[in-house]
Amino acid sequence: MSAALGVVFAALFAGRLSAGQPLRVGACQVDITPTLFPVCVNGYFTPRYVSEVHDPLYAKALAIECGSERFIFVLIDSCHIPSAFTDQVKAQVEEKTGFPADRICVSATHTHFAPAICRGHETSEGIPSDEELRDRGIGPYEPTALAGAVEAAVGALERLEPARFGWCTAREPRHVFCRRFLMKPGTAPEQPSDLVEISHNVAQMNPPRQSEDIVSPLGVPDQTIYCLAFTRPDGTPLALLANYSSHYAGGSDLEGRLSADYYGVFARKIAELLGAGENFVAMMTCGTAGDCNCIDFLNDQPPYDYNIVGEHLAEKVFAAYGGIQFADTASLRVRTDTLELALRRPTAEQVETARALLASPDDLSVTTRCYAKLTVAEESFPRRWAVTLQTVALNDIGLCAAPGEIYSFTGARLRASTPFEANVMIALANGYNGYIPPADQFELGGYTTWRGTSMLEREAEPKIRAKLLAMLRDIAAADRADDSQPQE
C-alpha cells in the first residue's frame, strides 16, 4: 500500500469525533535492562544464558484520565510474565498512589530476547533460584523489572496533562503469516500422549518452509496495525499505543544478546518519523499472534529481521497518522473481571509415566524431557484458576486484554461481534496461561495444544471470548444509557 493510500485508509477508518469529557494523559518509560550478568532468557526449549545487550529493554506506562474514569496500561519488554508478577505491579502502584488495581493492565511485548521473569516450559530446568544466583554474585532480574514497571506507572500518573485522542489502522501483510498447518497423515511431530494429552497430531507449528507435507494453513492472520494516538492540545505527539499480530522477528545479530526485538525498533522509528520530543512514549503490543509469525511458510520471502519489521510497521503507521481525526474530548470506559477456568492436570498414572521416563533423561529428546518435567510439576497445579480479563473503550474503539497467546480466530470473532467501530486484542496481559486455542483445534493436536504449552481447559477460548464480548456490550449499553439522558 502506498503512503497516499495509507492516509486514505486511515481517513476512512480513523476514530470519529466523540462527545465526551476533557482528557488527560501521561506517559513514562523506565530502562529495565539488567546490569548483572549472565541472565537466563526463555522462549525456547532450552535455557540460554546471555551477558551482552544489543538494545535497551523498557517498562512503559500510559495513564489515561477522563472524568471519573481512569486507566493505566503497562507494557514490559519480556517474553511473558506470570499473574503473580502483574498482581505485584498493581498492588504496589495502588499502595503508592491510591490508583485502583482493577484499573491497571500489565502486558508483555513477547520479545524472546529478554531475561526470564517466570519459568516458562522452555526454562523449567534452567532458571537458577535466587539463592543460587546470590551464591554466584548475581542478583535476580525480577526485582529490576518489577521496580521499573511500578516506576513507569507512577511516573505516567505524575505526568498527566491535557491531551487529544484519535486512532487509525493500517495494513501490513508482509510480516504476518499463519504458522500452524494441517499436515499429511503421519508427518506432524508427536509426543507421548501421557505427557501432552494429545494422542494423534495432524497439525504442526512452524513446519519446514514450502514442505510438500503441508496440506493447508489453519488460521487467517490479522494483517492490521492498530494505533491509538495522543497529542497535546497544540498537536505535539505525547504517546502512541500500537498493536500487531505477529510473533517476534529476531535476527542473526541478536543471538546471545538482549533486545526488545521489533517492538523496540517500532517505538524508536515512529518517534523519529513524528519528530516527537524526548518525553514521547511509543508502545507496540502483541495481538493475536498465537498462530502467526513473520515467516511465509508457503512462498519465497524477501529477507527480514527485527529491524525491517519494526521499520515497516512504523512507516505504515506514520502514513496513516496524517488521517487521524483528533478529538479534544473523550469517553473512557473500563471493565475488569475474572473468569474461573479449569487447569489441565495429568492423572496419577501419567505422572508415574513421566517419572519413569525421567529416570533416564539422557535417553529423551529435549522436548520430551521438558514435557515430562512439566507433567510432574502439573500434579501440584490447582484444579481451578481465575484469569483476569479487561475491556477498555476509548471513544469508538474497543480493547480486550487476556492472559495468554491468542489465536487469530479469537480476534476475528471479536471484531465481527464488537459493538464498537474497531476492536483490538492485547495478548499476554495480566498473567500467562500459555496458548489459548479454539476448542476445535485440540482435535488436530500440535505444539500449541499440548498440555504444558496450553494450560487451560479445552473450552477456555470460547468462554474467554464470550466473557470479553459481554464486557464490551456492557460498556456499549452504558454508553447508550448515558446518551439517552437529557442534557442540561
pLDDT value at residue 278: 86
- CA 177, CA 395: separation in Å to the nearest integer? 31
Please count the residues of the chain.
488
Place of cell 541478536: 254
pLDDT value at residue 282: 98
List Cα–Cα distances, 392 to 31, 82, 239, 337, in angstroms. Answer: 27, 22, 17, 12
Kindly provide the residue ranges of all beta strands, DSSP E only, lying in 324-410, ordered along the sequence: 329-330, 332-342, 384-394, 397-401, 405-406
User: 3-state DSSP call for residue 164?
Assistant: strand
Which three cell numbers mark 296?
511465509
Give me the phi and psi of 44, to 5 degrees please: -135, 175
pLDDT value at residue 19: 54
- CA 75, CA 286: separation in Å to the nearest integer? 10
pLDDT value at residue 290: 98
pLDDT value at residue 155: 98
10-residue stretch averages of pLDDT, the chain, 488 residues long: 38 44 97 92 82 97 97 97 95 98 98 82 50 65 95 98 98 98 97 95 97 98 98 97 98 96 98 95 98 98 97 98 96 98 97 96 92 92 96 98 98 98 98 96 97 96 98 92 59
Write down the H helix ranges in 71-129: 83-97
Nearest CA to 310 out of 253, 264, 262, 273 is that of 262
